[in-house]
Amino acid sequence: MSLSEVELFFFFPVVFAVYWLLPRRAVVQNVVLTTASLFFYATWNAKLLPLFLLSTLVDFAVLRAFARTPAAADDAPEDERAKRTATRRRWLILSLVSNLVVLAGFKYVGAFNKLLALGLPPIALPLGISFYTMSRLGVIIDTYYDRIPPVRSLLVWVTFTSFFPQLIAGPIGRTDLLEQYEQPRRLEASSALRALREVGVGFVLKVYVAAHASTWVNPVFAEPGVYTRKAHLLALIGYATQVFADFAGYSLLALGVARAFAVSLPENFNFPFLSTNPMELWRRWHMSLNRWLFDYVYSFMVTGEGFMNGRLGLGLVIVMIVSGIWHGSTWPYVVWGAMHGLWLFAHYRYDLHYKSLCRKDRTWVARRKSAPYLALGWAATIGFFIIALVPFRASSLGDAATFFRGLVLGGGTETLDAGTMHPALAVLLVVLYHVQAMPFFDSVRARFTAAPAPVRGLVLGLVVVFLMIFAPVGAGTFIYAQF
């Protein structure tokens, strides 16, 4: 069961009703959410539920150990500080090793099995293992460094790690979520309306846009090189549309469902296709993952002791390769991460040079804000992002090379089916989704809000009818569930 499946429309109302009908106390609300979340997990693979609970308990034991052994004060004797630091470090290592070994075992053993022909049976990937592992480790690391107090309630901890809207694919929870679970929640009318809007938009993106865009994508990537150059281009545009709609749509569904329980999850996408440089793009795309990587991997590398200290550009390359490995265990993902790392490194060096020009001559500041400069930056950023999706989608480096060859040189004769209206509409909807976030659209939104209720109702009704007419058969698979 996922947030876009029919079963959720039976599961969610029951949980919602029980949640708000019972006394509005944090303990009661957390019991309801935890029970529902564990049931949600079990519907995916009940056999892996004990492993999920065991790893949750191990991390809670580490948090309690931190509470029993607080960091020594600065004026404490040196031997006392060293003893406490060593004890806390051992607990930290226990959590890091136990989590990362389990994560690597499930995500990467299959790759080694295939590479070395070990003959091991296939292993089912636990639901959302990459996402909840990072959520837990973020809290563990922050607690170790005394950025937050240790979690004291096992119920709060289990609720935090298992909350079903974010269980499959995030957003990756951070420490501010713990504070929400420690307090009783109340649903305000404005939050309820926002939740409905997020669920509605998310459902359209996930179920409608992503599914229709895939009709351009799947045939060409299944047989790269066989199709015409135009078909390769359409497949690439379609995949950019699909992967955004799939993940951004699911993230909006998660935000909306969570908000219905008065829980605010971190946003995951902030109109990334409006970005005018690669650094901005990665601040807008999969925001919870990139914040985590930059807070706990990048910052650790470039501010710690050793070779990487101060090497900010090289750190960008490494952290994006780590992001590629996080997404998958095959070489195409590593290449995808390296491509973006080198792109970020190039932008970092260019930005340093441009800032030096601005310090010498202030006219360069105005040039950087000019429409031609921003348009060129947008085209380069989004163009590179779309091209780099080839290894992200290809099943092998050979297929990626064949796709690039077909995209640049052509040579194939197969064309996509004549009925391309549905995927074209999917692309158009993603464009409109970003356009409505631009400042000039505020006046359009204001006029629509000020229109008489019958007019607004008619427009919304026509939108619903339009979506029903062009609704796809089935929601398709969720791309990011595999990560």
Q: What percent of the chain has pLDDT over 70?
A: 86
pLDDT at 296: 92
Strand spans (E) along 336-469: none
Q: The dihedral of CA 34, 35, 37, 38: what is its sign?
A: positive
DSSP, residue by residue, 94-120: HHHHHHHHHHHHHHHHHHHHHHHT--P
What does the mean pLDDT of the chain come to?
85
How far is 345 from 474, CA to CA, in rounded Å? Answer: 41
Query: What is the CB-side half-sphere exposure of residue 260 using CA atoms within 13 A?
Result: 23
Tens digits of residue pLDDT in 320-336: 999 999 888 789 999 99
Q: How do residues 107-165 score in pLDDT, each as one tens digit?
A: 777 666 565 556 666 677 788 888 999 999 999 999 999 899 999 999 999 999 999 99
Q: Which residues pair with 227 in a beta bridge?
A: 414
Higher-pLDDT residue of 363, 429: 429
Query: Which position among 212, 232, 286, 327 bears the catalytic label?
Result: 327
pTM of the model: 0.87
* Backbone dihedral angles phi then psi of residue 227, each to the nearest 5 degrees: -95, 170
Top-confidence residue, 382 or 72: 382
**What value does the mean pLDDT take over residues 340-351?**
93
Poorest-confidence range of 80-89, 129-138, 379-388?
A: 80-89
Task: Note the pLDDT of residue 466.
Answer: 62
pLDDT of residue 414: 81
Mean pLDDT value of segment 233-261 = 93
* Whole-angstrom distance, CA of residue 386 vs CA of residue 370: 24
Q: Active-site residue 327, yes or no?
A: yes
Non-local (6+) Cβ contacts of 87 within 8 A are 65, 69
- pLDDT recorded at residue 417: 72
Predicted pLDDT at 110: 64
Instruction: Give me the pLDDT at residue 78, please.
Output: 75
Q: Write phi, then psi, for 183 (nearest 5 degrees).
A: -115, 150
